[in-house]
């Protein structure tokens, strides 16, 4: 699907904003702090169902009581999201929905400047990044992750209580075991799929024979819910002392390897940027394969972080996609 326009009302620092998009590349130019990223955020909400950086109370323009965003596609379909300070609704064909229906979600490749530092980021930032990708690969991944996170929050709250008995944790342990195992299996599968393409894509960018690999690291060694449950129960005393859950897929990490060595410390700045470009192109390839749809590309001020050769690679690899770019200055 091709985006025709996006309209914002009381969204971030925009009182009113309207962007008419082209079939190929649309450029949003403005100073830092002018709200360029907010336009991409609005598109992401209307295509994926939630923001990539904040909750609704943080998004609504200060001093106003609601926000409204509207996305229109070239085929005439329209998606509207409204938030009144209490609840958010997605309006499609005059029908209100609390969540964006699966059939109205559309694949998005989001490229933020911070992504270029993914290799050296904290494990939490890397998990968030891959969770965003994998949720587009498979809707059930997002459902399992949401249920896991809710169960983890409840378990951690109980672990702060005095004189806690293990029985009170049983139902939450069961949920963490089930959804944690499901998430582990999908993460392992998707990283394997990325690795199958990553080196070849990198070599097409860098024009050399370097090898790239991502190692998925997890506390979970035996991918079964029974094994997961036993480990949670065995950790009861430790977790009660710490006041939080010390075992589980919420501690997972993804380590980039460059020519069989950890990339953080061995890859140069330019090589690191080529690795991330390769990851983005691989992500786009897999999204298209899995969804049978060509993803829309949202590039948030990343051209300024790339040299001429990598800019050309970006343009070449996404030439068949609709691309929406933000920039402080023209990229001509």
Tell me the average confidence (pLDDT) per consecutive run of 10 residues in the chain, 332 residues long: 96 96 92 93 97 94 96 96 96 95 94 94 96 95 97 97 94 98 97 98 94 96 93 97 97 97 94 95 96 94 90 92 88 52
What is the pTM for the complete model shown?
0.91
Distances (CA, A) of 159 to 219, 243, 292, 311: 20, 5, 44, 50
Closest CA to 325 of 11, 25, 1: 25
Under CATH, which number does the domain 3-106 receive?
Answer: 3.40.50.300
- On whether the CB atoms of residues 271 and 207 are closer than 8 A, the answer is no
Give the ranges where 49-120 is alpha helix by DSSP (H). Answer: 56-59
DSSP E strands in 103-211: the ranges are 108-111
CA dist., res. 146 & res. 325, Å (int): 30
Task: Report residue 28: phi and psi, to 5°.
Answer: -110, 115
pLDDT value at position 62? 93
Residue written as token pair 């005439």: 76
pLDDT value at position 223? 87
pLDDT value at position 330? 60
CA dist., res. 33 & res. 41, Å (int): 14
CA dist., res. 321 & res. 24, Å (int): 7
Under CATH, which number does the domain 119-291 receive?
Answer: 1.20.1050.90
Contacts of 172 (CB under 8 A, 6+ apart): 151, 152, 154, 155, 158
Closest CA to 184 of 213, 218, 139, 155: 218
pLDDT value at position 32? 87
- On whether the CB atoms of residues 298 and 106 are closer than 8 A, the answer is no
Three-state DSSP class for residue 52: coil
Three-state DSSP class for residue 325: strand
Closest CA to 220 of 262, 251, 256, 192: 251
- 119-291 has the same fold as 3-106: no
The whole-angstrom distance between residue 187's C-alpha and the CA centroid of its chain comes to 14
Three-state DSSP class for residue 256: strand
Q: Where are the domains of the chain?
A: 3-106, 119-291
Tokens of 183: 């998430």
Helix (H) or strand (E) holding 287: helix 269-291
Specify burial of residue 139 (Cβ count, 10 A radius: 0-12, 13-18, 19+): exposed
At CB < 8 A and 24+ separation, what contacts does 141-150 make? 141/183, 141/186, 144/179, 144/182, 144/183, 144/186, 145/179, 145/183, 147/175, 147/179, 148/175, 148/176, 148/179, 148/180, 148/183, 148/249, 148/250, 149/250
**How many alpha carbons fall within 13 Å on the CB side of residue 117?**
7
């Amino acid at each position: 699907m091709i985006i025709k326009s996006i309209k914002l009302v009381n969204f971030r620092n925009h009182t009113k904003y309207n962007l008419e998009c082209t079939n190929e590349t649309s450029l949003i130019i403005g100073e830092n702090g002018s709200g360029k990223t907010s336009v991409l955020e609005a598109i992401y909400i209307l295509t994926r169902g939630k923001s990539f950086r904040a909750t609704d109370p943080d998004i609504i323009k200060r001093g106003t009581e609601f926000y409204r965003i509207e996305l229109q596609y070239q085929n005439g379909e329209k998606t509207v999201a409204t938030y009144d300070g209490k609840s958010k609704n997605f309006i499609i064909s005059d029908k209100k929905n609390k969540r964006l229906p699966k059939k109205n979600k559309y694949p998005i490749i989001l490229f933020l400047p911070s992504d270029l530092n993914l290799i050296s980021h904290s494990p939490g930032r890397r998990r968030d990044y891959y969770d965003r990708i994998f949720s587009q690969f498979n809707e059930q991944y997002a459902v399992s992750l949401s249920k896991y996170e809710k169960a983890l929050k409840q378990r951690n709250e109980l672990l702060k209580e005095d004189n806690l008995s293990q029985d009170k944790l049983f139902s939450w342990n069961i949920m963490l075991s089930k959804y944690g195992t499901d998430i582990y299996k999908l993460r392992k599968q998707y990283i394997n799929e990325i690795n199958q393409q990553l080196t070849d894509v990198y070599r097409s960018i860098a024009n050399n024979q370097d090898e790239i690999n991502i190692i998925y690291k997890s506390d979970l060694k035996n991918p079964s819910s029974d094994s997961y449950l036993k480990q949670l129960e065995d950790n009861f005393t430790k977790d009660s002392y710490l006041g939080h859950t010390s075992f589980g897929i919420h501690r997972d990490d993804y380590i980039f390897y460059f020519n069989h060595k950890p990339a953080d410390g061995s890859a140069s700045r330019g090589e690191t940027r080529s690795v991330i470009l390769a990851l983005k192109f691989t992500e786009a390839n897999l999204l298209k394969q899995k969804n049978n749809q060509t993803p829309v590309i949202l590039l948030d001020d990343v051209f300024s972080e790339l040299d001429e050769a990598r800019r050309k690679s970006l343009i070449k690899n996404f030439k068949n996609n609709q691309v929406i770019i933000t920039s402080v200055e023209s990229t001509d």
